[in-house]
């Protein structure tokens, strides 16, 4: 946050401190500050001088003119709600900053054969190790790039995820196959701090670099679906559910605060759905008996 702090106004500095006091992640702090700065820039004045009408106008601008994705709109709404409620102490503004309804879409899920193709097609050992870690442990992208060598506990066969979403630590399973792959990666690259360092060894690999690797692997594997890094996490959860893993165990592994977020995968667990017999089958014989002769 040092580079941000050096060019901050007193109001932005106060908002940063408010976020720090509430233990928000560095990623969230940067995002919230950026959202409020864009809001102010749109009207060419400090956000403390802007009220309900400007908030409404800006939301319409994001949705109708810029046509930004739903997550970006929600992030802006959350940032403005925090800014007015906490930094400016104007909670009355919250009734004018209403989050938009989330459009419900099912996540893209890869079959196990498709996952295997994505994980094996690349000749780059580092990329194979990262993509395999994402799927084998169901990690978020931000969590896998933040892994350190010391987070791999081969004695207990666990991966420690420090300060995941919501600033919470958790443990996930370490697959023996993944452990073999990570050992091969460590022998080849000898990473010291970050398990997957970036071009500058002092820094972790960026999510942009990893996104490119994922898209390249999906292209080489000839996967026609829209594949993202998060697709591997979605596939991990769905495949566990299809293996009859308890949904509450999956919730813990994914680091979900609410069970309803994990329950989404019941809608895309096709093997589970296929095993359910339609009630039509129970009356099929009666239908045949009632059918008039040809």
Residues known to be catalytic: 140, 165, 230, 233, 256, 265
Number of neighbours of residue 16 by Cβ within 10 angstroms: 20
DSSP secondary structure letter of residue 291:
S
- What is the SS3 assignment for 25? coil
Burial readout 174-192 (b: 16 or more C-beta within 10 A, e: otherwise)? bbeebeebbeebeeeeebe
Which residue in 248, 249, 242, 244 sits closest to 268, CA to CA? 242
Residue 93: CB partners within 8 Å, gap ≥ 6? 51, 52, 55, 81, 84, 85
Residue 80: CB partners within 8 Å, gap ≥ 6? 35, 36, 39, 55, 97
Q: 129 with 135: CB under 8 angstroms?
A: no
Consecutive H or E run containing 220:
helix 207-220
Q: Looking at 24-134, which runs of residues are DSSP E strands?
A: none
Q: 85 with 52: CB under 8 angstroms?
A: no
Could you give the CA distance from residue 231 to residue 206 in angstroms, rounded to a whole number? 18
């Amino acid at each position: 946050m040092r580079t941000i702090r050096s060019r901050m106004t007193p109001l932005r500095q106060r908002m940063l401190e408010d976020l720090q006091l509430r233990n928000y992640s560095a990623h969230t702090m940067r995002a919230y500050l950026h959202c409020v700065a864009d809001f102010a820039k749109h009207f060419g004045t400090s956000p403390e001088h802007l009220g309900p009408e400007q908030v409404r106008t800006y939301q319409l601008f994001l949705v109708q003119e810029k046509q930004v994705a739903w997550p970006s709109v929600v992030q802006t709404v959350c940032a403005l709600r925090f800014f007015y409620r906490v930094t400016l102490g104007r909670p009355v503004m919250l009734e004018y900053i209403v989050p938009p309804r989330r459009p419900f879409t099912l996540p893209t899920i890869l079959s196990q054969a498709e996952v295997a193709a994505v994980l094996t097609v690349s000749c780059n050992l580092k990329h194979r190790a990262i993509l395999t870690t994402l799927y084998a442990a169901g990690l978020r992208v931000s969590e896998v790039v933040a892994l350190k060598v010391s987070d791999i506990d081969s004695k207990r066969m666990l991966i420690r995820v420090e300060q995941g979403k919501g600033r919470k630590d958790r443990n996930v399973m370490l697959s023996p196959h993944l452990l073999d792959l990570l050992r091969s990666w460590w022998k080849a690259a000898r990473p010291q701090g970050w398990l997957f360092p970036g071009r500058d060894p002092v820094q972790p690999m960026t999510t942009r670099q990893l996104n490119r690797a994922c898209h390249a692997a999906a292209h080489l594997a000839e996967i026609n679906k829209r594949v993202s890094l998060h697709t591997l996490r979605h596939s991990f959860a769905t495949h566990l559910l299809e293996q009859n893993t308890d949904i509450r165990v999956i919730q813990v592994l994914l680091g979900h605060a609410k069970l309803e977020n994990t329950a989404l995968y019941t809608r895309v667990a096709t093997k589970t759905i296929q095993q359910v017999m339609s009630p039509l089958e129970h009356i099929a014989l009666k239908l045949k008996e009632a059918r008039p002769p040809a």
